[in-house]
Amino acid sequence: MMRWLTRGILLFSCLTLAACATQAGLSEGFDRSVKAYNRMLRWHEIEDAVMTFTDSDQKEDQLKQAEFLKKRGLSVTDFRILSSNYLPEKKTGDVIAEFDYYILPSNRVKTISDRQEWVYRENIRSWKLRSGLPPFE
């Protein structure tokens, strides 16, 4: 009887540890994806950011938007992550990012806040952006 109880406790402990490790991995993956996406926007890699991080059902529209912004001469000069909220039970995340940018021929730097909605896709084991590109105007 004691042997079964010991094995049960050991099994429960292993399962709990595995669940915690998975949640930590998702959280770290979320942070990495958010930073990489915003960094790509900053370094004029808008099309690559869309191809890598945009959810598949919005990818075509977002690629057209990225091409339009590139033709207009969008330059992001800086970004800041103001808040980041990961919800493990829903496997989603919300981010508020702020961008400093200008669009040629103007050299006036503007600032815009963007709310990003992220979701973890189990089938591809990747974080994807549901909200699309910021509305740079």
Domain span including residue 92: 2-129
Domain CATH number, residue 72: 3.10.450.50
Closest CA to 121 of 42, 45, 57: 57
Instruction: Indicate whether 118 belongs to any domain.
Output: yes
Please indicate, yes or no, whether the overall pTM of this predicted structure exceeds 0.85: no
Instruction: Indicate whether 135 belongs to any domain.
Output: no
Instruction: Indicate whether 30 belongs to any domain.
Output: yes
Alpha-carbon separation of residue 25 from 18, 67, 70, 86 (angstroms): 11, 33, 34, 12
Cβ atoms 4, 10 nearer than 8 A: no
- For 6-31, the pLDDT digits (tens) are 555 544 443 443 443 355 678 999 99
Instruction: Indicate whether 134 belongs to any domain.
Output: no
Instruction: Indicate whether 111 belongs to any domain.
Output: yes
- For 108-137, the pLDDT digits (tens) are 999 999 999 999 999 999 999 999 999 998
Alpha-carbon separation of residue 103 from 4, 46, 52, 72, 77 (angstroms): 69, 14, 24, 7, 11
| pLDDT at site 122 | 93
| pLDDT at site 107 | 87
Question: What is the tally of structural domains in the chain?
Answer: 1
